[in-house]
Each structure stands twice: as C-alpha cells, then as structure tokens.
Amino acid sequence: MNDEQINFTMTVLRPAYMLYRETQVFKLTPSQNVELGELYKEINGRPMPMCSTCVVEGVLSLVIRAESLQQAQIATDEQKPKRKRK
C-alpha cells in the first residue's frame, strides 16, 4: 500500500467501519465505493466479494493492514541512523 491508499483507508474506511460497528449499517459514497473496489483488487488480486459480510471483512482487513503499515512507518521514522564502524 502506498501513502495515498493508507490515507484513504484511515480517513474514509476506518470511520465508516467504526460507524458500522455501532449501527450495523455500512455506507460509502459511490466514488468511495469505486475506490474501495480498486484498492481491494490491487491488494488482494481479486474483485471485492458481493456478500455483505465479506465486504465488511474485506474492509476490516484493509484497515488492519493500513494501521500496521502506518505504525511501521512511524517506527522507521523514529529510529536513529546507525553509525558506521571503523
């Protein structure tokens, strides 16, 4: 996932998933839905499944992947550069 995809996942999909957990209604705009389908296909290599449970599980897996990649980026940014040995 690149930074743009991580940003989309964290700013659009994660809040929609959190709202789904509270209300049991998962709702995206048509353009967000298209972007979700493209992202899912690029990451998993197959189109987004059509059953509602599979869609929610797919979104959750994308959110988890984006969170872990974001944490890995933060960790590598905070590491001190290693000194060269003589």
CB of 48 within 8 A of CB of 40?
yes
| pLDDT on residue 75 | 66
Averaged pLDDT, groups of 10, the chain, 86 residues long: 90 94 92 93 91 91 92 69 63
Q: Is 45 left (phi over 0), alpha (psi -120 to 50) or beta?
A: left
| pLDDT on residue 76 | 66
| pLDDT on residue 64 | 94
| pLDDT on residue 81 | 60
Nearest to 35 by CA among 51, 11, 52, 53: 11
